């Protein structure tokens, strides 16, 4: 029994540190070490992604080069978080590294495009619009990518329940198209009886409540009403 307890204790010691706790303490070195970990266990992969995200949230400019290296991580979701983090930090030197990710994995390309857009590079906008306007196939993965592109074009942050970013610089016509696409995706691909379906409610809700552009806000409210989520039609403006 004592040997068993010692083994469990040693396993706990071997676990990678928690990125969120490191961020709370402001332990930048700990986050950088976590980001550079070669460990491919599921927990370590998750913590690498969180480390990238927290370095972006903290705006750590010294993390730019390690995050660029993380764009080549073997796990795509870690690359995704590294791309978003680079956009948050806002160092324009990263444009070249982000542009190289626009033609690979679609999820990573969306994150890289959004990061470029936050840096003022219109190539990011073009990529997001191209993905948004993709075919309406029955492939749910493709439709989730379209949904994500719409979310970012509408200024929603990576958290789908976050408020739209009032400083987002996408034209009104593109944002109105994104609302239409989200409504269409929900109408065609949401099934309340299936866990494997797509809902746009958490995207359209924040846009309809607080988007800074009145016309986009009204369009989202109308879409929610047509989808049956609002009990009253939006007032005419």
User: Rounded to two decimals, what is the model's pTM?
Assistant: 0.83
C-beta pairs of 119-123 under 8 Å, 24+ apart in sequence:
119/87, 119/90, 119/92, 119/94, 119/95, 120/92, 120/169, 121/95, 123/99
Compute the mean pLDDT over every residue in the chain, rounded to the nearest whole number: 86
Give the model's pLDDT for residue 237: 53
For residue 154, the SS3 value is: coil
pLDDT per residue as tens digits for the range 62-78: 999 999 999 999 999 99
List domains and CATH numbers for the chain.
16-129 (1.25.10.10), 133-237 (no CATH)
pLDDT, mean of residues 21-25: 92
Give the model's pLDDT for residue 5: 52
How many percent of the chain have pLDDT more than 90?
65
Confidence of residue 13 (pLDDT cuts 50, 70, 90): very low
């Amino acid at each position: 029994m004592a040997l068993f307890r010692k083994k469990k204790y040693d396993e706990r010691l071997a676990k990678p540190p928690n990125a969120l706790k490191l961020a709370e303490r402001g332990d930048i070195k700990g986050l950088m070490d976590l980001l550079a970990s070669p460990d491919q266990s599921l927990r370590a992969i998750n913590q690498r992604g969180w480390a990238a995200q927290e370095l972006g949230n903290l705006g750590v400019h010294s993390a730019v080069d390690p995050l660029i290296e993380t764009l080549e991580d073997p796990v795509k979701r870690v690359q995704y978080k590294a791309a978003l983090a680079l956009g948050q930090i806002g160092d324009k030197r990263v444009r070249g590294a982000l542009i190289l990710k626009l033609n690979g994995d679609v999820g990573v390309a969306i994150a890289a495009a959004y990061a470029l857009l936050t840096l003022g590079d219109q190539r990011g906008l073009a990529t997001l619009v191209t993905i948004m306007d993709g075919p309406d196939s029955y492939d749910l993965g493709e439709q989730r990518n379209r949904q994500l592109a719409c979310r970012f074009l509408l200024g929603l942050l990576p958290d789908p329940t976050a408020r739209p970013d009032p400083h987002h610089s996408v034209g009104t016509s593109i944002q109105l198209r994104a609302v239409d696409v989200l409504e269409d995706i929900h109408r065609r691909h949401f099934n309340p009886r299936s866990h494997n379906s797509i809902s746009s409610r958490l995207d359209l809700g924040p846009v309809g409540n607080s988007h800074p552009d009145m016309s986009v806000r009204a369009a989202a409210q109308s879409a929610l009403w047509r989808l049956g989520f609002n009990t009253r039609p939006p007032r005419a403006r």
